[in-house]
Amino acid sequence: MADVYNEAILIEKAKSGDEASFELLIQNCKTKAYNTALRYLRDEEDAMDVLQESMIKVFRHLDKFKGDCKFDTWVYRIVVNTCHDFLRKNKHQRNNISIYRADEDGETIIDLPDTSPTPPEAFDAKLTATYVLSCLDKIPKDQKEIIILRDIQGFSYEEISQILECSMGTVKSRINRARQKLKHMILEQYDESCV
């Protein structure tokens, strides 16, 4: 209860223009907000740009926060909407993500996580993750965002309902449809690779 009280005080101070209070308010949700943007945009620089733009919007429109949901949920809603705006503006400039990049000497290298026991297993995991992310780009926007929010970012059904401003029933049905669509696409790819 003290946290809610402290948050309310910080919100009132931030609404009055106190930047230190604003920083304290967004401190706890900045990382999750960035990760949400990163999952949507799949580019670190774009995600950082969207995060900064979102934080500016949060600060400028703080007076519109009515307290009918948690503050961080309101912030995530702004981040999701800013991601949609960014994708709409840049849809013709988007490139496919590659697992390859050049090092300082201009040589092509592959980024592989060091958590796998062998390089081939790590490469397979990277290809699988890349494939799943590419499948996310092929499903409808409402299904993609629901997968990102629930299965990747771990938001609760209630939080997603508030972020997307829709009913819990809509959230559950979108999650079900999105998971079924992804499952079908992944199984289809698996069947093709086994032929």
pLDDT in tens, 58-67: 989 988 888 8
pLDDT beyond 50 at 100: no
Residue 136 lies in a domain: no
Q: Is-contact 77 59, C-beta < 8 A?
A: no
| Residue 136 vs residue 120, higher pLDDT | 136
Containing domain of residue 1, as a range?
A: 1-95
pLDDT of residue 97: 44
Q: Is-contact 40 76, C-beta < 8 A?
A: no
Residue 175 lies in a domain: no
Residue 27 lies in a domain: yes
Lowest average pLDDT, out of 55-64, 80-89, 137-146, 161-170, goes to 137-146
pTM of this prediction? Answer: 0.62
Residue 155 lies in a domain: no
Residue 29 lies in a domain: yes
- What average pLDDT does the segment 12-22 reach? 87
pLDDT beyond 50 at 31: yes
Residue 159 lies in a domain: no
| Residue 119 vs residue 145, higher pLDDT | 145
Band (pLDDT 50/70/90 cuts) for residue 1 is very low
pLDDT beyond 60 at 134: yes
Q: How many domains does the chain have?
A: 1
Residue 8 lies in a domain: yes
Token pair of 171 as six digits? 């959230």
pLDDT beyond 50 at 13: yes
Residue 43 lies in a domain: yes
Q: What is the CATH number of the domain that holds 54?
A: 1.10.1740.10
